[in-house]
Structure 1
Amino acid sequence: MKDAKLTLKANPHHQSVVSITPTVAVGADDLLIVGGPCTVENLGQMTTVAQCLVPHGIQALRGGVYKPRTSPYSFQGSGDAGLDILAQIRCHHRVPVVTEVMAIHQIESMLDRVDMLQVGSRNMQNFDLLKALGEIEKPVLLKRGLAATLEEFVMAAEYIVSHGNPGIVLCERGIRSFDNYTRNVLDLGAVVALKQITHLPVIVDPSHAAGKRELVPALAKAAIAAGADGLIVECHPVPDQSISDARQALSLDDMVALVEQLRPIAAAVGRRIPAATTHGAALAA
């Protein structure tokens, strides 16, 4: 990784902290827990999610409005209407929201309505998109490509940072394997390596790695034990009725239970999950 100049650690103690809002950050002692559905379906759904999760220590909500689907005939997301829903949720419930950006032309419409832009696995090497995200002041959640090496992953982050945006959070979400029992293979070795190679925060998506909800809690616990700076987990009010990725979504009750189960693991590795509602202050403009 000799060409990476801005994302590599300058010394063993070099660790960046990325602020999502003035009161929510990732990379320090507090772990970041992001929860929510794969897809924003309607305001009622997202209101239920916020009312259930925010009081229990989940610091940010996720929800897709533009969906990269394998089949062109699958639901592609609610688009601009979904962004309006996210904007209402972040305002009324005073919680930051994260959503995926797929194209340069979508960026401008997101800037005033979401707090973090996610680059999905399929777009990890969409270099024009990465350059454009380097020119904004919003933090970016960069997911590892489904067959990307660590060098390719780090260099994708380098594209964003080198164009002016240092607020990058890396996300290990599983890589493709010959075994189809799980959706992907969660590479916890990559989490450990990335924490040694780069100063950027590293979080884990156990939902896309597992593809099966019953595997998610154990993988989430292992990720925190391995040194991840946080998690992004799919959950839904009625998982089996989710428009997309229903099989891997936790129920909201199970999501809340998972957070409580993570607290002693976080403490054991010198981290903590903030107490409920400690983050509900002013959001970034």
Structure 2
Amino acid sequence: MDNTPMVETSCKRRAVSALLHAEADIVRALTAKYDAGWEEFDRALEVIFSTSARVILSGMGKSGHVATKIAATMSSLGTPAHFVHPAEASHGDMGMLTKDDVLLAFSNSGNTSELLPILGYAMDNKIPVIGVTMGVESQLAKASTVPLIIPKADEGCCLGLAPTSSTTAQIALGDALAVGLAAMRDFTRDSFNRLHPGGSLGASTRRVGEVMLTGDSMPLVSPDTPATLILWVMARKGFGIAGVIDENGDLVGQISADDVKPEQMTLAKSVMRQVEPVVHPDDSMATAISRMRTKAMKACLVIDGRKPVGIVRVQ
């Protein structure tokens, strides 16, 4: 009996498991190094934070892809950053690096030949260099104002050759720098929203008060509103819920369409329930969406004190 498929599946599982464990191990090693007090990491943050211009990132091959990603992450968190390809730098793009910038270079070995010209240019012009590498005695480490040495580890791929563990460590360290700088700059949700006006990320960081429907758009009824009228209000406003307000305009209950049985001729006060979920105008849309999903709701009322001031829905 041919058991080749079973053997192949077993080999695949071992290879994938070994990779995931290797990548998890190197991130844990980085975490332990930071938790033990990684002075060079803090110095790197200070050097970058004190720059008056940008962080210029560079790297070759897979390290270059990491550098491109970290440049985008830093920029999105309030640290202006730009990727310069090291090979292109030798053909005129060196001019993208100014004396006011900081160079953040990635290289697993630290001896990538394509990086040497841009490192030399930075050193000649007294541009600070932060080098991320596993090579303790490498050219990148020696050229760095602040070398960030990643704990030595084998690559996690089944051949031990393809950049896997090393690039995972580079991404984790680059993200840590980006987040550390954001914290130092007191980068807030409002700041993030200004840089992400489009897409789901931008929408989730907007405040409820910016997007809620107000006034006549709110489905509101009084405690004595009959069932048929409650359903009419919901249908007219396009929501599956209605808020119940008393004579003072305070929100005293909530009704969903499933609560209403028109044939029973019930009143709002006899079927209304506790108002949930509910949000405040200053809450983020991410908070509103999370609360709605927790209660399996597609809309929720917005209150200020006890007054309903709007309604939002999951798009």
What TM-score comes out, normalization by structure 2 length?
Answer: 0.27
Query: Higher helix fraction: Structure 1 or Structure 2?
Result: 2
What TM-score comes out, normalization by structure 1 length?
Answer: 0.29
Which structure has more relative contact order (CA 8 Å, sep 6+)? It is 1
Considering only CA atoms, is the larger Rg found in Structure 1 or Structure 2? 2
